[in-house]
Structure 1
C-alpha cells in the first residue's frame, strides 16, 4: 500500500494543474481489508501438475489492500478513467499431500511458503447515458493489464509462474442520490468467455462532506481466472473498504 503514495502524489499534482484549467477530474483513494474466499491452482494444467488450494497454505487473510480510481470528464458525457490496483500476499503453511507445481514437487506436511501477486492496471473510456430522477448511469470499455505471479518455496526448492497480459473488459457504473448528501454507488468491470473470466464489482454508500470531498464505505468482490493448456487458476476475494474522493 505504501507504494501507492508516490503515485497518488504525482496524480494529485497533475490533476491540480488540470483543475486550474477548469477540467473536470476526480480522484479516489480506496483502502480495505481483503479476504481470500478461494484460490485454486494447477500449473501446468495437465497430468504433470496437481490441483491444490492456496487457501490451504495461506489461509483466508485478511490482508491490507488499496487502489486508486481516477476519472476525467473530457467533454459532455465522455470520460476517461484510470485504475491502479496492486495486491499481493506472502504466507507460510503446509499441504496435506505432495503437490507437483511448475515442474517441482513440494512435500505434504512440510512447512511451505506461498507468494501470490495480482496487480491490475486499467485504462478505460466511459459514457454517461442517463441523468434523471437522482440516477446517473455510465457504460464503457476497459483495457486491463494483468500482472500476476504464484510462487512456492520449500527447503531450497522454488517454483514460480508469472504472467503479464492485456484483457478487455465491459464497464458499468451508477449512482443514486437518495438524500441531499447521501449516495448509493456501484461500479463494475468484467467479462466472461473463452478460457476464463474477470469480475470486479463494488457497492458503496457515500456521503458528500462538501462540493469537493466525498467519503464512502462498502464492499468489493473480485472473482475470475483462466483455464488454459498451461494454467488453471480461479480465485475469489472479498474486500471491506473505505474511500475518500476529491474533485478538481
Structure 2
C-alpha cells in the first residue's frame, strides 16, 4: 500500500492535525451528523517487504518479526449528509503491530543487514487518514446506493532492531481511491451494508472493504457487526510492500 501512487514525502505525521482538517471539511450546515466508533481484532494473511526493491535488499516476511495477530484495533469516522444526497466522511484508521522474532537467513533492509537466528524487534505501521465524498444516487425505504472518491493519507513504517543495528522506512503519501457504498434495510430495525475504497495501477493496488449487518434500536443509534478486509501494496523501484489484513469488527453509530 505504500507504493500505489509513489513516495511523496518522508517523516512523522500528526494525527490531531489531520483529524482537525477532516472535521473542518465537514463543518458546514448539514442534514445530520453521524459518528461511528469501530473496534475489534485484526490479523494478517501475509505481509511482505523488500526495501530497497533491488539487489541491495532482500524480500522477507514482516510477520516473522512483527507478528501476524490477532491484535485489538480501533477506527473512528465522522460523516455529514447534505441535501439528503451528498455525504462527506472523515476516517482515522490506525494499524500498528510490534513483536520479536528471528529470520532463518540474513536479511538486508533499508541499508542494514540483520543476522539470522538472532532476536529482532519488528514494527509494522499503516495509519490512514481519509476524506470521502459520496453521492447517493438511490435513496428510498429499502435501498441506498452511492459512489464517489476518497483521498487517503498514509503514515506507514517498517522498523527492524537487532542489538545496535536499526533500520526503518517511514513513508507518508497521498493515494486517491474510488468509493462505493450499498445499504439495504430488511425492516425497520435490521439491515446490511457494504462499503469499499479501492484502486489499482501498474505500480500497486489498495482495497479496503467491509460487509456488515446493522441493527437500529432507535433513530439516532445503529449497531454494526461485520468483517473488513484491507489488502494492497506497491511494487516500485525503491519499495516492495504488500499486506493482507482481516478485521472482525463491532461498531456503534450515533446521529446528531
Query: TM-score scaled to structure 2, two decimals?
Result: 0.88
Which has the larger displacement, 28-37 or 128-137?
128-137
Deviation at residue 187 of structure 1 after TM alignment: 0.6
Runs of 4+ in 1 over 3 A off after TM superposition: none
Classify the secondary structure of the residue corresponding to 2:65.
Answer: helix
Match of 1:188 in 2: 196
CA distance in 2, matches of 1:158, 1:223: 27
Equivalences for residues 41-80 of structure 1 within 5 A:
41-80=49-88
2:104 equivalent to 1:96: yes
Count of matched residue pairs = 240
Query: TM-score scaled to structure 1, two decimals?
Result: 0.91
Match of 1:175 in 2: 183
Deviation at residue 174 of structure 1 after TM alignment: 1.2
2:141 equivalent to 1:130: no
Match of 2:11 in 1: none
CA distance in 1, matches of 2:75, 2:204: 24
Equivalences for residues 225-244 of structure 1 within 5 A:
225-244=233-252
CA distance in 1, matches of 2:82, 2:139: 17
CA distance in 1, matches of 2:15, 2:189: 29
CA distance in 2, matches of 1:106, 1:4: 32
Match of 1:245 in 2: 253
CA distance in 2, matches of 1:195, 1:54: 20
Deviation at residue 188 of structure 1 after TM alignment: 0.3
CA distance in 1, matches of 2:84, 2:116: 59
Aligned-residue CA RMSD (Å): 2.4
Specify every segment of 5 or more residues in structure 2 that has no aligned partner in the other structure, as ranges: 1-13
Deviation at residue 221 of structure 1 after TM alignment: 0.3
CA distance in 2, matches of 1:98, 1:111: 12
Match of 2:37 in 1: 29
Match of 2:92 in 1: 84
Match of 2:4 in 1: none
Classify the secondary structure of the residue corresponding to 2:193.
Answer: strand
Specify every segment of 5 or more residues in structure 1 that has no aligned partner in the other structure, as ranges: none
Match of 2:129 in 1: 121
Structure 1 residues 22 and 155, CA gap change in structure 2 (3 angstroms): closer
Deviation at residue 75 of structure 1 after TM alignment: 2.1
1:152-204 per-position Cα deviation (integer Å, ceiling 9, x unaligned): 00011000001101000000011110122001111100100130111000011
CA distance in 1, matches of 2:77, 2:212: 14
